[in-house]
Structure 1
Amino acid sequence: MGLATATELAARGHTVRVVDPALGPGTQGCSWWAGGMLAPWCEFENAEEPVLRHGRTAIDWWDRHAGGVTHAGTLVVTLGRDRQELDRFARRTEGFEPIGSDRLAELEPDLSGRFHRALFFPDEAHLDPRTAVAALQAGLATRGVTLAAVLPPDPGRIIDCRGLAARDILTDLRGVRGEMLVLRCPGVALSRPIRLLHPRVPIYLVPRGEGIYMLGATMIESDRRGVVTARSVLELLSAAYALHPGFGEAEIVELGADARPAFPDNLPRIGQAGWRLYANGLYRHGYLLAPAVAMQLADHIDTGAKPEFWHETDHQR
């Protein structure tokens, strides 16, 4: 959130400084462990309308400011015994093409013969979050943006994008835990994110190139960070094996977990807390909604326009 906001403001000619004690290559957090799916139509299955509307703008924003976006769409599949899950998913979203086994085999030959039906979302995209974050940092550096570990004595206007660390000023912020695995499986070739629906353990698998895949992710109401449970590893790997048995030979390269910052309605907020602005609560839509929140913040600073995601406290009302 902070890098997206800094990028948007710097692109509009503002003088910006980024302050983060942990900033630098290899920094780990929600942005590091994310899937990087720019999938507004799929996310609309269990999200509010603003996620779809603003998520549509995210693909172009990342293309312009970071690059490295893969425009290959998303495939949603389900095992035969769970086929009602595919129908339910279709009823709750839009922007897809119902396809059969022949079309599925054209899109992903390694899934040929494994699924009779699927939903194809052709306008969705994905990126590698770690590469994207590095690209934002590099872009800021070319604009002369200073990166610092501590606030200077006279910081000027502060925009607080600290995620869960901001619970000292945002008391209704909560953590939603997500766990993921990075696998190396050169024996399976997939070119786009695959979502395997299941009533209890839905997964997504995102290709990173050269046989590397990100497998996630759980949704647990908890702010526990840093470690992955054995149960989650078992469930995620079992689902990946059901998608394609080739994943039974995969190497586990990384395990990771973190807690996403979320408000009670699971939508982001922009607001005033004391003497600073804040932007927070991206929930599971970090890469999808950070551009919209950053643009709304920049509009507010440029023109005083009230952001759609503006949140007023009782005393401000």
Structure 2
Amino acid sequence: MQGKPRILVRGAGVAGMVTAVTLAERGGLVTVYDQSGRVGAGASWMAGGMLAPWCEGESAPPEVTAQSVASVDWWATHVPDVTRAGSLVLAPPRDVGELARFARRTSHCEMIDGKKIAALEPDLAGRFHKGLFFEQEGHVDPRKALPALLSSLLQQGGTMVHASEKAPDSADFDWVVDCTGLQGRTELSELRGVRGEMLLLRCPDVTLHRPVRMLHPRIPVYIVPRADHIFMVGATMIESENAGAMTVRSVTELLNAAWTLHPAFAEAEIVEMGTGVRPSFPDNVPQVVQEGHKVFVNGMYRHGFLLSPAKAGEAADLIFGNAGG
């Protein structure tokens, strides 16, 4: 191979865009193609964008935490508006025992009292008397971050093929990196879909500075603040590949969690309801798989924003011959 390698990245979700930028930074001539013709299609557009490696350790295997610790720094150096204000974990009074269980399964957190909760989130003053604070975590708005990655790619000489254009021919490239999620199942037969659901609420009467996780024995819920008093509420994990409309049960549970956090959410405006199907391997751990001059980056499960930087680095190491070095 002479000169810079020509690389086709299929899929413009979080895995595809992070991989494309990483490959361009390593010196590749990168073309991105997504059959939707836009950045952030599918589950990535519906994501919470939480950069919470230690919180995720509550239910994820240790390698997920180990590979995602650097993700906050990666995002902060690549896109604007990354918030590094930590994560707050709370529980309704009847479920306060869940905090101790959560703390035992995680690390890098502090058990805090009502006074500290009020200092961190004044709008929650007097509502909760105990919580966990993960100071080193952060969050990002996927709907700003993914277009920012495309801008970065274009500035580095990369291209994106739009829906109105002819799909690229793999034969014209030295490498193909497949980040197409469930579409990759024709070659990655173990992939399955896990449905996630989310709400966007507008609530001018509430201000939050960081994601808040509300613990519940059956369905923990997170509330992530965005600009202009918009809040993303999500966390449902359903073993289903049906990407249809949200169920009444899921909407009710998400709204109840927001209302429990602050009663002003009862008057919030529902801006959007959405579903996404996350590609997942049996162990829920993402993989980078090479088959000749094709590399798969897939199975992001609920860890797309956390693990894409590490997995993109693995793919780049394979392509540029620096694996292990």
**TM-score band, normalised by the shorter chain?**
over 0.9
Indicate yes or no: 2:247 matched with 1:234: no
Contact 1:73–1:192 (CA under 8 A) maintained in structure 2: yes
Partner of 1:203: 221
1:282 aligned residue (293, 296, 300): 300
- Superposed CA RMSD in Å reads 1.4
C-alpha change, 1:19 and 1:28, in structure 2 (3 Å) is closer
2:27 aligned residue (9, 13, 30): 13
Inter-partner Cα distance in structure 1 for 2:301 and 2:271: 26
TM-score scaled by structure 1? 0.93
Q: Which runs of 5+ in 1 are unaligned?
A: 308-317
Inter-partner Cα distance in structure 1 for 2:44 and 2:225: 17
TM-score scaled by structure 2? 0.91
Contact 1:37–1:125 (CA under 8 A) maintained in structure 2: yes
Contact 1:71–1:124 (CA under 8 A) maintained in structure 2: yes
Partner of 1:108: 121
Indicate yes or no: 2:41 matched with 1:37: no
C-alpha change, 1:177 and 1:199, in structure 2 (3 Å) is same
- Comparing 121-130 with 144-153, which one deviates more in the overlay? 144-153
Please report how far the alpha carbon of residue 276 of structure 1 lies from its aligned counterpart in structure 2 after TM superposition.
1.6
Indicate yes or no: 2:237 matched with 1:219: yes
2:168 aligned residue (126, 129, 151): 151
- Find the residue that maps to 2:119 and give its secondary structure: helix
Alignment of 1:50-199 (within 5 A): 50-149=63-162, 150-152=167-169, 154-199=172-217
Corresponding letter in the other structure for 1:179: E
- Find the residue that maps to 2:77 and give its secondary structure: helix
Inter-partner Cα distance in structure 2 for 1:70 and 1:186: 20
Q: Which runs of 5+ in 2 are unaligned?
A: 1-14
Runs of 4+ in 1 over 3 A off after TM superposition: none
Deviations 1:113-161 (A, max 9, x none): 1111000000000000010000000101111211115123523210111
Paired residues, number: 306
Partner of 1:24: 38
Deviations 1:93-131 (A, max 9, x none): 000011100011000011111111000000000000010
Please report how far the alpha carbon of residue 8 of structure 1 lies from its aligned counterpart in structure 2 after TM superposition.
0.4
Inter-partner Cα distance in structure 1 for 2:279 and 2:176: 19
Inter-partner Cα distance in structure 2 for 1:28 and 1:213: 20
Give me the identity figure in percent: 52
Partner of 2:312: 294
Inter-partner Cα distance in structure 2 for 1:242 and 1:123: 26
Please report how far the alpha carbon of residue 201 of structure 1 lies from its aligned counterpart in structure 2 after TM superposition.
2.2
Inter-partner Cα distance in structure 1 for 2:155 and 2:322: 28
